[in-house]
Amino acid sequence: MRDDFDYDDDFAQSFDDEEDDDDFGMTFEEDVYLMIREKLRDTIQEFKTKYPELKKLENAVSSFKVNAKNTDDSKFYPLAAKLLSEHIKPLTAESEEIQEIYDNMQADIARFKNQRAHGHEGDFYLS
């Protein structure tokens, strides 16, 4: 009986593309979601001493959990980003800085629907 796994055929790919190296094994949706979380984390770390109200945002982001079993990446990560956005939206009334971070985050969330959309790159939502 012949094994369907043929090492030479299945792994005869070129891994020279530098762009794909960072995302190996990740779906587009997972990559976007992790980028959003990273931008939030980096922004909070960079500015929380200057803007103490960002500590509330830090607590909200760190306490955020999603439990969506049996959901594939194409649905889970957009849902997680939407729920994270809704989770921090009440804090936007607390400060202009949190409102700006929230608004900038929406540009990245839009990328789930349109992969070619340009995500936000800016001063107060670090890239």
Q: How is the chain split into domains, by residue range?
A: 26-112
Q: How far apart are the first and last CA of the chain?
A: 52
> Residue 6's pLDDT is what?
47
Residue identified by tokens 């979380």 is 37
Of all residues in the chain, the percent with pLDDT exceeding 70 is 76
Rounded to the nearest angstrom, the gap between the alpha carbon of residue 43 and the centroid of all alpha carbons in its chain is: 13
User: Quick check: 83 pLDDT over 90?
Assistant: yes
Question: To which H or E segment does residue 124 belong?
Answer: none
Beta bridge partners of 122: 125
Rounded to the nearest angstrom, the gap between the alpha carbon of residue 99 and the centroid of all alpha carbons in its chain is: 18
> Token pair of 91, please?
């804090």
Residue identified by tokens 């055929």 is 9
Where does residue 57 rank: exposed (0-12), middle (13-18), buried (19+ CB within 10 A)? buried
Report the alpha-carbon distance of residue 48 to residue 51 in Å, rounded: 5
Tens digits of residue pLDDT in 1-25 = 444 444 444 444 444 444 444 546 8
Q: What is the mean pLDDT of residues 94-111?
A: 92
pTM of the model as a whole = 0.74
Tens digits of residue pLDDT in 18-62 = 444 454 688 999 999 999 999 999 999 999 999 999 999 999 999
Going by C-alpha positions, the residue among 85, 71, 95 that lies closest to residue 37 is 85
